[in-house]
Structure 1
Amino acid sequence: MMCHRIGIPPISTMGLGRTDVSSPSRVPRPPARITVFMITPRHAFDDMTDPISPARNTRRSIWGARVALLLILAGAAAIRVHGAAFGLPDLNDADEPLFMMTAFDMLRGPTLNPGWFGHPATITFYCIGLVSLLVGGLGIATGRFADVDGFASAVYADPAILFLPARLFFVACGVICVWQVYRLGRKIGGPDDVRGRMLGLLAAALLAVNAVHIEYSQLIRTDVQASVFMLAVTLCSWNIFRHGRLRDCLFAGIFLGLGIATKWPTAIMALSPLAAIAWLGWCARDRAWALRSAVAFATAAIVSLLIASPFLLLDYATVMENLAGEARKAHPGATGSGFFGNIAWYVSGPLLRSFGLVGLALAGLGVAGLLLRRRDVAIAVAPGFIAMFIVLCAGALVWERWTVPILPFLALAAAWAICTALDWLRARFRRRLPGLELAVLALVAIPMGQSAMAGQAERLNDTRQAAAQWIRDKAPPGSVVLVEHAALGLIGEGWDIRFPLGTAGCINAGDALTGRIKYNEVEDKRAGRPVVDIGNLPPEVLPGCRVDYAIFTHYDGYTGQAVFAKEAGIYRSLAAGGREVAVFRPQPGVRGGPVTRIVQLAR
């Protein structure tokens, strides 16, 4: 094992400042050297003539790495495209209709003001709007839709027309994340380009088969799209640390602003470039440069944020109202249990599900090794991701989707742990041990892939679709059915479908779609309630919700928690005198979704 010292040239050669040698009062400083400790096997950077050195950078190895990367990206795309139409025409995710309705309302306006800033999701709304324009324009050009009105009517009758292309856009965002992880892995690999490519390929492969990342790459949400900008900020941060260029500070700020306009927590990633700037300024003893770079970074971030989402200022009152609505202390099925309890929940839940036991152990070892042995990573890469995880664990709520931004960093850490361990083995036994990386990758990736396949099987066989099929098979034609999820597939099939909508009570879903309901109407009727479901109906509207059958998908989330006693009581009040005729429960690897109950009500 050996400790390598990587020197950073003096500021004058990095374009950060100038040393005036013509002035006798200003003597050039000696080259500032930043010591970055990288504990690696000695042979990793040996001369290329060493017969066991992995540093041979031949044309064959370069093309092999390119082919491997293309295969990984193709596999990442294929596994994310497969099953992307899950649930359609029903909408299982509660937030997908929010994003789609808001973007569609912007087109109908037309307006650039989303009117909702909870995430804030402005970039997401604009992207969905562009997808909608492309789908509608192509449909009109090919004669599928007569005009814009015909396109709108078709989308409300069959949301899959627009939802599937929008989901494929987010699939593309997920694949971009895999490519970005490869790029970052190459940089972290060190001076040995062969080792860098291997580390990048391993990290990309681990993220490509990550179950949680795959799941949220198939949803119309802000999480994966924000991760694209977070990784872009991190890549710029690494370049700041290595080269000290002002342009990297500007690009980091631009990507940060775009990321914040997509999802508020992206702001945490500012810690990485700021740490890199501060470190260089301290090592080179040039505080003026550090201050200028930090100001340029912050200015670029603020300007890009306001250009991307000017209504954050122009519609400030709505922004504050939406943020207040997002700041909840409790949520059915997502209420946290304190900092350490939340850590346990994230580690034993989404992180274990997405990496498996071996992969998560390697990721933990890799994080510790990178923080202790790689000062460059600890300064330029880790601060944003570590702070993100701390903030998640300190929150009042816990959500699986909130782990999406830290999954790339854990994949990189696991890949680094694999490369470091295998380099040690090769140095120890003085053998090349060809194919060892692939063997270890298979050991880690196969369980991860199995978890991803199980998750896809669960999404394709959801309890809510099973309940809808029970209605088709068992409910008499003409029955009035109350649903909590967007069971659009039941509309127009002979049943009167009702939906709970806050102060409006149980509305006719078919009439609402025919009338092209707008999202601001939904917001008005939900009156600040966190979930649009039966539990959040005012008691005075319950008599109008007496139907033949009710499909409860949120009831079990409220039971057993004293804070939700009122909501659980609304369900019991509505179901009083009725009988439960069917229950559909999730089964790991077979069926996903919440516990779904069908109750035949007494009318």
Structure 2
Amino acid sequence: MIDRAVRILRTGDWNTHLFDQPTLVVYCVVVVAAVRYLAGAIAGQWTSLDLFQVGSVYGPTRIVAAALGILTVWLVYRLGEEIATRRVGLLAAAQLAVFPLHVSESHVARPDVPATALIVLTMWLGVRAAKAGTARAYGIAGVAAGCAAAAEYSGVAAIVAVAAMWLVRERRAPDRGRKAAALAAGAAAAFLVAMPFAVGDLPHFLDGVAGQLAAIARSPRDGAPWLHTRELSWLIAPWLLLAAVGAAVVTWRSRERGRWAPVLLMAAAYGYVVVTYPTGAARDALPIVPMLCLFAGAAAVELVRLSRRVPRWHTSWANRAAFLVVSLLVVAPLTLATVGSIRELRRPDTRTATAQWIKEAVPQGSRIVVETGGPTYLEDVPLRVIRTSALSDRPLGWYCEHADYLILSGPDTGSAAAYLNAGPTVFQITPTAQRAGPPIRVVKLHE
């Protein structure tokens, strides 16, 4: 992503020519890179773009990602307050602020956090549009939905949130058609502004989208639905149960179902995408986390409400104390899980060892292909990282043309033989009792 942004700065060509991911976040990184370049020029670090170092963009980009992570917490609070109560919003925001996946991804230069922020923003604006009941409000919500889709293709599911509110609130309104048109026009306009080459370079765009759809079409028959849940700490399991209870409660109650419709349908739509997308990367589930936090918050607040039936617990101070205790019980396991995940990162692992070798031995600007399950957080290295669920997704000739190194993760099966023999193995590591992770080989394609 960052290498594409720097390439735009150097060439002036805003067409990335690669549409495996949308371009909105790339264009935002271009702005960050331009500011960093000018700041470096003032400090005397360089005098031309040829001297501009790609690695210098990672720090500012990670700061922006962290800021967007904080913004997402605030948006979850506002969404919870809008569809339920202030307490639900506060508790949902507190959960998201300490959730392991959100914490780990909010300091990484990837599109997942921006896409999540835009999805939550879309739901919030959709709820507000339903309350305002104007075409203008629906148009604004549509713009947010279009931006979410231009940040991550799976963000298309965000339109479900606004469409749900339109269907619930406007299906009998005389001007429902005008509001639907405003919603659709806003989404389409925002998407095309953020991805102009979806039309200007239609063949490559269609190829990129087709590649993503082909991955989704590989279905969950290989156990993909469980790839995300098996990475969760045991501390998260009770929280997931609480979120499920909350979702069931708001679905069961007809008076709340309409208000919660965008969150319910968004969770269902995006959840379907996640469990059928065979990458196994936990970060793919990030946009669902805010919804689960809202469900868990609703369940916790419901428990506090039920506690008022206990004699002597119906006073205001007792109710506040009960809310505080329940909030701590909900947030504490998430905090402990986050601390545990941070400690886990310090353990020896074949993936971290490979990533360290890549940082030290692979020349800057090299093109590396990484399979799912291989080394992570390589986006912070000044390399062009091409991620794929499996090397077999493309023929060997494609890699020889577009890559310099192949990172193979997993056993040496017959299907991997052609790729292993494509060049010399320059790095190899296997798991041991003290070192977790998959066996990894690095093959150099060009001498």
TM-score scaled by length of structure 1: 0.62
Q: Which residue, 342, 346, 349 being the options, matches 2:230?
A: 349
Match of 1:312 among 188, 194, 198: 198
- Counterparts of 1:140 and 1:305, CA distance in 2: 33
CA contact (8 A) 1:104 1:129 kept: yes
CA drift of 1:289 comes to 1.2
Partner of 2:102, secondary structure, is helix
Deviations 1:362-405 (A, max 9, x none): 10101111111112234343222211112333445543222111
Question: In the alignment, is the contact (CA less than 8 A) between 1:585 and 1:596 conserved in 2?
Answer: no
Task: Give identity over the alignment, percent.
Answer: 24
Which residue identity does 1:337 align to in structure 2?
P
> Are the equivalent residues in 2 in contact too, given 1:330–1:397 (CA < 8 A)?
no
Cα distance between partner residues in 2 of 1:238 and 1:537? 49
Task: Note if 1:337 corresponds to 2:256.
Answer: no
> Which structure has the larger Rg over C-alpha atoms?
1
Give me the whole-angstrom Cα distance separating, in 1, the residues matched to 2:179 and 2:237.
42
Matched, 1:123 2:6: no
Q: Does 1:137 align with 2:137?
A: no
Match of 2:288 among 397, 406, 411: 406
From 363, 368, 378, the equivalent of 2:243 is 363
- Distance of 2:298 and 2:352 partners within structure 1: 43
Distance of 2:122 and 2:337 partners within structure 1: 30
Match of 1:208 among 81, 94, 97: 97
Q: CA deviation at 1:142?
A: 1.5
> Does 1:457 pair with 2:343?
yes
SS in 1 for 2:220: coil
Work out the CA distance in 1 between the residues paired with 2:63 and 2:399: 42
User: 1:422–1:436: 8 Å Cα contact kept in structure 2?
Assistant: yes
The counterpart of 2:161, out of the listed 272, 277, 295, is 272
Q: Structure 1 residue aligned with 2:414, among 565, 577, 602?
A: 565
State the Cα RMSD in Å.
Answer: 3.9
Name the aligned partner's letter for residue 315 of structure 1: D
- The alignment partner of 1:554 has SS state of strand
Structure 1 279/555 Cα, relative in aligned 2: closer, same or farther at 3 Å? closer
Equivalent residue, structure 2, for 1:165: 60
Instruction: Please tell me whether residue 259 in structure 1 is matched to residue 148 in structure 2.
Output: yes
State whether residues 216 and 273 of structure 2, in contact with CA within 8 Å, keep that contact through their aligned partners in structure 1: no
Aligned to 2:297: 415
CA contact (8 A) 2:148 2:158 kept: no
User: Quick check: 2:136–2:182 contact (8 Å CA) kept in 1?
Assistant: no
Following TM superposition, by how much is the alpha carbon of 1:208 offset from its aligned partner in structure 2, in angstroms? 0.9
The alpha-carbon distance between structure 1 residues 343 and 540, as it changes in their structure 2 partners (threshold 3 A), is closer
Conserved 8 A contact 1:553-1:594: no
What one-letter code is carried by the residue in structure 1 that aligns with 2:104? E
Native 8 Å contact 2:220 2:275 kept in 1: no
Alpha-carbon offset, residue 107 of structure 1: 0.6
How far apart, CA to CA, are the structure 2 residues paired with 1:249 and 1:361?
Answer: 34
Contact 2:243 2:292 in 1 (8 A): yes
Q: Indicate if the aligned counterparts of 1:174 and 1:224 stay in contact, CA closer than 8 A.
A: yes
Q: For 1:116, what is the secondary structure of its paired residue?
A: coil
Deviation at 1:330, TM superposition (A): 9.1
Tell me the amino acid that sits aligned with residue 427 of structure 1: R
- Aligned-pair CA distance for 1:595: 4.3
- For the Cα contact (< 8 Å) 2:157–2:269, is it kept in 1? yes
Per-residue CA distance 1:281-338 (angstroms, 9 max, x = gap): 34xx33x31111101110111112112221110010110122233344499xxx7633
What is the distance in 2 between the residues matched to 1:448 and 1:181?
Answer: 17
| 1:53-452 equivalent positions in 2, closer than 5 A | 99-120=1-22, 122-150=23-51, 152=52, 154-155=53-54, 159=55, 161-189=56-84, 196-282=85-171, 285-286=172-173, 288-329=174-215, 337-338=220-221, 341-346=223-228, 348-350=229-231, 352-353=232-233, 356-373=236-253, 374-395=256-277, 397-431=279-313, 432=315, 433=318, 434-452=320-338
Using a 3 Å threshold, how does the CA distance of structure 1 residues 298 and 597 change in structure 2: closer, same or farther?
closer
Structure 1 residue 438 displacement after superposition: 2.9
Name the aligned partner's letter for residue 74 of structure 2.
Answer: W
Counterpart position of 2:360: 489
Equivalent residue, structure 2, for 1:61 = none
User: How much does 1:464 deviate?
Assistant: 5.4
Count of residue pairs brought into register by the alignment = 423
Q: Deviations over 1:516-543 (max 9, x none)?
A: 99x6xx98xx9xx86679x9756998xx
Please tell me the residue identity of whatever aligns with 2:409: Y
SS at match of 1:115: coil
Change (3 A) 1:142 1:421: same
Distance 1:440 1:259 in 2: 33
Aligned equivalents of 1:400, 1:426: Cα separation in 2:
39
The letter for the 2-side match of 1:403 is A
Q: Is the Cα contact below 8 Å between 2:96 and 2:102 reproduced in 1?
A: yes
Q: Do the aligned partners of residues 467 and 187 (structure 1) sit closer, same or farther apart at CA in structure 2, a change above 3 Å counting?
A: closer
Give the whole-Å Cα distance in 2 for the aligned partners of 1:395 and 1:598. Answer: 25
Please list the CA deviations of residues 190-211 of structure 1 after superposition, one character each: whole Å capped at 9, or x if unmatched.
xxxxxx2222111011111111
Query: Cα deviations across residues 260-286 of structure 1 (Å, max 9, x unaligned)?
Result: 11111222221222222222234xx33
Q: TM-score, normalised by structure 2?
A: 0.81
Three-state SS of the structure 2 residue aligned to 1:173 is helix
Partner of 2:377: none
The whole-number CA distance in structure 1 between the counterparts of 2:278 and 2:111 is 20
Name the structure with the higher helix share.
Answer: 2
Q: Flag the 1:586–1:378 CA change in 2: closer, same or farther, 3 A.
A: farther
Distance 1:372 1:301, change over 3 A: same
1:225 CA drift (Å): 0.7
